[in-house]
Chains A and B, each alone.
Chain A
């Protein structure tokens, strides 16, 4: 199976784009064939992913399925890809989410109806996302990172709501703005490292430490550039304002992919690139990152309380939840990073699911205005029940997916990495804990408006469909994951911890001296 070990990642990353090209070749009228090709391509990629899981060495915290070939020799950029315990969960989540999105869309095509274009864009997007998670070369990473941008821009801009143009441009410009600074950071890393390299492993303090020669001042500036690029994607307060618009306007599958995967590109960037390459700068910036993270938690939750639009509420909730992820990262401890990756997966599953349900609600009621919704538990009880379950997962109820990440993130911030102010981070922990109450507040407020109460008069006579077949198929895996991750956090922690611990032992013990 040697060929599999060297080809698996490339296959998984590029099968979707091949599928996308095949779709382009099929005439628009043959819709069924288009759908089948899209589904087959995404499932084929997922099967490769399952193959990777089956051959994964669970005890090895290093890179697996590694490929390192020359690519752009002129700028010493290589086709260097691999997975480790940090990227594997995100990689698999991406494969799963895309399949589920395509299944969900089977009979739910947003207007203007064009399965061909939408599937083409989704598959292109999948390649971009998967590529980002496997890249170990800064230029390769940047290319994939940017590849995700255009499809999402078109998905929002073409199939979005009334203000889709505004939302899509805002999304594009914000991300582009961040990417530009990120690219500056990458270039600076290349020119200042010794030897000049774009290779993440060589640059990392635990690998070649080629970035060790960078002066601390330059490191601070470069980190700031990377921070802008990643923080906008997360998004962190106060760079988050593109998110509510993008989410509110995007079609359902767009919102799901955006929430479940695209936001994680930012947090993943911190864990994969910013921290290991510039540990000292990270150490200097950590208190500020932590501060912005807890502001995001409190502030995002407060904004949720003021919402009347269901999707906008869920969008703002992402600001709060990603705050917990960033708080975990800011502690610069193995527990914190584990918490962050768990938080990313949990948020992907739970918020992705929330957007799915919100989309189905919109489709049935033709409104997202919570003052006009209500009584879902009575009129469509199954969907109402799923909604309640997922809302409780989102508010961090133990035994559901949201809790382990939040709790371990708070656990980590009680004892941040050596040299960081303990009292400051303990204050962050208390603020974050208060944030959980606010989170509960807006989630229950949302349930009261949407799931509980009487069925509003305007829908009383209508027959609303409860969960339908494509919804069952696409939601069941996420619901199972929501419960399974909550009861068995080791599903993620065992994988991540094996890579996080060695990474930390080397970076922070060597670079900062404990």
Chain B
């Protein structure tokens, strides 16, 4: 029995854990919901480790993977939907990331969420979130992947709105769900097009057809653009990135797990999983500009700029996440599959570390605002040193994990002919170092500016920080360039290798002097960023009011502080128009459509009244020779008011019978 064949258990045990926590969390476990969910995630983590051992020992298995499917539902023999898993090295890597971060976050939350409202529900939703992400990364087809994708959307909504008593939090939850759902229009349309063009949802089969040119070219492009719109929504790419900073309204462990390490990389994962299809559709191997690279690069730079002006510690990290997601996306867009996925892998560890570290700080000082912090280095040493590891990793300083992945992306951009992307990437590297050290100085150095007496967090909180600091520091070496690159050896699926082999531009670049020069440039720029941040925020060598005094900087600052006015744009246009249009529709419904029908009804009513009056007054009067008293007319109107239906029915059916006869004779 191959261990990988049991990977369907991973989502299943987490779903079961969710149900147990939900139904027995308050009673059997007296509120300690983690006793249900932690064993499940620990089991999944051990399975992932065993899976990693299996694929490391067998490179054929790592590339080809195993597939297990069962027929889900069908519309005839040649149109069926399958539920199945496909586990290769890439899937194992993703499972490892998801289960490691989930487990750390669940341990961390025991301390962080203690005494918070809805603790049990929090754990239940965390467990089902993990299940959703595991469904996506183990799924062998797009249709099942959509299930995981959307389950994550639901849990993200629920967790962002965890403190739903405040209207702004539920607004943030709605914004996150609706923005990603807007992207999902593309995802759904893309899935439909993929199905009809290839008659399957299976990732492997779709990739194979795209590579062999059996995927009708115009449909292929439409499908990929549509799917990429889904990616833009889920992975918070420009211009749908605005939901992610707002999503920080959720508890900090949620930000670490969902909005940094896992769910937001679902879009990156999808592009990576369907990379042969995207490469073929977007001509990544020929062009030196394409939609994926463009959107990724724009996102990387604009988010990095926004991170410069934030005072909310979590928002700095949120924009940093958006920026790094842009990095991963453009890495895939310039043809650097291995580098992009490796960055996803390393980023998950150090960004989760940074978020959890920020949570530790926020837990201690009871504020998100960096202006209320400062001097925490001495008070919270464990949080501080792990934060420094995470920061250096994010800045890409040798030998931290981020150095290897980021440098590999930039080098690939340079070699694959995307020099403009390389330039933007360098600028982002500089900005990243700048805003991260700005945040570090404001939070940890100088003197404490806040209130109360902060203290180091308990072991349940610092433990996960220390655990995550280890991979953040050293795991980069498994992705060292050239023949040392074990990560690509284990994680690259066969279809991706075929794609690379097919297009010479995508071949791995040699490790030579250029490699070291490029690495030197990016590290130098990062260090420059550190230096500038230190000059401005630690030594405070610049005049403090430079922003106010110099007009261009003032305007730039305002532009950034207002997030390029995108939220105003969306708020003003999208949300602003919703109300008038919805109201107009409803007005139209009530006053036009309904009135037309009401008037018709009223007309019929009048006709009926006339007929009846004729009947009662003329005919009946003629027969009886008696005048009609006003009381009888009054009685008639009362009957109308209370609905004397039989008359209409009778008149109506008589008319209809005539019509039927007319129709029959007319067309005979």
Contact = CB atoms under 8 A, between A and B. Distances in A.
Given A176-B648, A299-B585, A183 B656 contact: yes
A221 B667 contact: yes
Interface centre among A299, A437, A493 (most CB of B within 10 A): A437
Contacts of B174: 444-445, 448
B656 A191 contact: no
B195 to A, nearest CB: 6
B582 A303 contact: yes
A489 interface: yes
Nearest to A496: B75
A92 B94 CA distance: 43
Interface string A163-181: 0010011001110110011
A163 B195 CA distance: 49
Interface in B89-114: none
Contacts of B593: 238, 241
A440 interface: yes
Contacts of B581: 302
B594 interface: yes
Given A180-B656, A187-B664, A414 B165 contact: no
A444 B177 contact: yes
A493 B157 CA distance: 30
Interface string B544-582: 000000000000000000000000000000000011011
B465 to A, nearest CB: 32
Contacts of B589: 241, 299, 303
B188 A192 contact: no
A489 B189 CA distance: 20
A302 B79 contact: no
Contacts of A53: none
B501 interface: no
B239 to A, nearest CB: 16
Interface string A225-262: 00000000000001001000000000000000000000
A217 B153 CA distance: 50
Interface string A370-388: 0000010110000000001
B189 A429 contact: yes
B170 A448 contact: yes
Interface residues of A, number: 71
Contacts of A453: 164-165, 167, 170
B582 A493 contact: no
Contacts of A398: 146-147, 149-151
Contacts of A454: 165
B185 interface: yes
B585 A302 contact: yes
B427 interface: no
A437 B153 CA distance: 13
B178 A452 contact: no
B76 A414 contact: no
A435 B649 CA distance: 38
A407 B185 CA distance: 11
Contact of A440 (B72, B178, B659): B178
Given A306-B585, A411-B195, A441-B578, A334 B652 contact: no
Interface in B580-594: 581-583, 585-586, 589, 593-594
Contact of A306 (B178, B582, B664): B582
A242 B290 CA distance: 51
Nearest to B587: A306
By size class, the interface of chain B is 35 or more
Nearest to B593: A238
Given A241-B594, A375-B165, A430 B189 contact: yes
24 contacts: A169-B645, A172-B645, A173-B648, A180-B653, A183-B653, A183-B660, A192-B667, A221-B667, A238-B593, A375-B165, A398-B150, A403-B150, A404-B73, A407-B188, A410-B192, A411-B192, A411-B196, A415-B196, A436-B181, A437-B181, A441-B578, A448-B174, A493-B73, A493-B74
Interface in A184-235: 184, 187-188, 191-192, 215, 217-218, 221-222
B154 interface: yes
B165 A215 contact: no
B182 interface: yes
Contacts of B664: 187-188, 191-192
B227 to A, nearest CB: 13
Contacts of A180: 652-653, 655-656
A441 to B, nearest CB: 6
B648 A217 contact: no
Given A188-B664, A215-B667, A303-B589, A489 B185 contact: no
Interface string B277-306: 000000000000000000000000000000
A404 to B, nearest CB: 8
Interface in A385-399: 388, 392, 397-399
A40 interface: no
A192 to B, nearest CB: 7
A441 B178 contact: yes
B648 A497 contact: no
Given A377-B164, A494-B73, A433 B585 contact: no
A410 B192 CA distance: 8
A68 interface: no
A130 interface: no
Interface in A408-441: 410-411, 414-415, 429-430, 433-434, 436-437, 440-441
A119 to B, nearest CB: 24
